[in-house]
């Protein structure tokens, strides 16, 4: 099959205006949002109009927020072109942009009317971005559907069936809890430390790479507070290493990470919470984890 070219695909639609956006996180800005809204104004996009986000997670986040805010909401569709976009960003209705105070601080819960996934887009994606996106797929395997792990243990090739399984996990969790209270929290497995590492690295690491380290930490913590078996902790290391994802972090950074974790926007009432695992596909929550457990789990992932 021929790989799909983004601009080629976009221009095949009739009566469309194509807005090309800056690469990566830079496009999730007020300035770019304004550019999209300017085009909506120029073409007089009405309530019956449609905005399509064609690109990685950054593009679908921006497109969704542009749709949520133009005329107080017009229809939008997502055509994600990265693994992270397909299994994570385009699913679940979160849209938004960054501000100078942090990532995703301005946004809205605004679901697309459809998400179109075609794995042929991935033929041009870098191995680094594929593997970073697969970290979220691995997470779906540990928290809900362990058959994803067996699939990846057999082959690391990204198939439509694999993406479908991961999308089903996120869709199932999100449809039970759209606005992120208790149920949706399981999707944060590995993310408490992961977000802190991303910030500590000033976003030089891909989200999935930081989450990979965060998942091994969460697994170690799960061994200490939720009785997770060592075999499953090892399975985290094996599968993430096979994807060339990082699983350790610098020993010296523990204090900085603790501070960053306490400042995360998902911290509730000042309490640090972790999603933990009791077994494959069986999650739990840990609150007020004693510092000695955090220290021990961190020692086991430090390099």
Ligand X SMILES: NC(=O)c1ccc[n+]([C@@H]2O[C@H](COP(=O)([O-])OP(=O)(O)OC[C@H]3O[C@@H](n4cnc5c(N)ncnc54)[C@H](O)[C@@H]3O)[C@@H](O)[C@H]2O)c1
Q: Contact residues for ligand X (CB under 6 A)?
A: 23-25, 28, 55-59, 61, 81-82, 84-85, 88-89, 92, 94, 103-104, 121, 124-125, 129, 207
Choice between 17 and 126, CB closer to ligand X: 126
Q: How far is the CB of 208 from ligand X (least distance, A)?
A: 7
Choice between 19 and 289, CB closer to ligand X: 19
Q: How far is the CB of 41 from ligand X (least distance, A)?
A: 25
Q: In degrees rounded to 5, what are phi and psi of residue 79?
A: -125, 85
Choice between 131 and 235, CB closer to ligand X: 131
What is the four-CA torsion angle of 80, 174, 211, 97, rounded to 10 degrees?
60
Q: How far is the CB of 234 from ligand X (least distance, A)?
A: 27
Question: In angstroms, rounded to a whole number, what is the distance separating the alpha carbons of residues 209 and 138?
Answer: 12
Q: How far is the CB of 175 from ligand X (least distance, A)?
A: 14
Q: How far is the CB of 124 from ligand X (least distance, A)?
A: 4
Choice between 27 and 226, CB closer to ligand X: 27
Choice between 29 and 104, CB closer to ligand X: 104
Choice between 123 and 153, CB closer to ligand X: 123
Choice between 154 and 182, CB closer to ligand X: 182
Q: How far is the CB of 86 from ligand X (least distance, A)?
A: 9
Q: How far is the CB of 120 from ligand X (least distance, A)?
A: 9
């Amino acid at each position: 099959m021929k790989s799909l070219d983004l601009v080629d695909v976009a221009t095949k639609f009739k009566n469309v205006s194509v807005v090309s956006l800056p690469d990566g996180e830079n496009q999730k800005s007020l300035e770019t949002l304004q550019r999209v809204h300017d085009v909506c104004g120029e073409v007089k996009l009405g309530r019956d109009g449609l905005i399509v986000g064609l690109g990685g997670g950054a593009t679908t986040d921006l497109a969704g927020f542009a749709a949520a805010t133009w005329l107080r909401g017009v229809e939008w569709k997502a055509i994600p072109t990265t693994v992270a976009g397909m299994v994570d960003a385009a699913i679940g209705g979160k849209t938004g942009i960054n501000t100078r105070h942090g990532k995703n601080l301005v946004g809205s819960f605004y679901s697309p009317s459809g998400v179109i996934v075609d794995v042929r887009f991935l033929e041009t994606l870098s191995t680094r971005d594929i593997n970073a996106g697969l970290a979220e797929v691995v997470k779906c395997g540990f928290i809900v559907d362990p058959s994803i792990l067996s699939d990846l243990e057999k082959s690391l090739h990204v198939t439509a069936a694999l993406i479908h399984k991961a999308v089903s996990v996120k869709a199932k969790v999100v449809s039970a809890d759209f606005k992120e209270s208790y149920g949706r929290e399981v999707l944060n497995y590995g993310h408490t430390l992961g977000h802190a590492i991303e910030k500590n690295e000033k976003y030089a690491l891909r989200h999935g790479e930081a989450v990979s380290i965060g998942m091994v930490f969460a697994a170690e913590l799960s061994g200490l507070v939720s009785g997770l078996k060592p075999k499953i902790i090892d399975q985290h290391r094996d599968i993430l290493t096979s994807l060339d994802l990082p699983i350790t972090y610098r020993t010296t950074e523990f204090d900085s990470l603790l501070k960053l974790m306490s400042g995360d926007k998902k911290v509730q009432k000042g309490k640090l919470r972790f999603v933990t695992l009791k077994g494959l596909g069986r999650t739990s929550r840990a609150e007020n984890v004693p510092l000695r457990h955090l220290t021990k789990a961190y020692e086991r992932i430090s390099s």
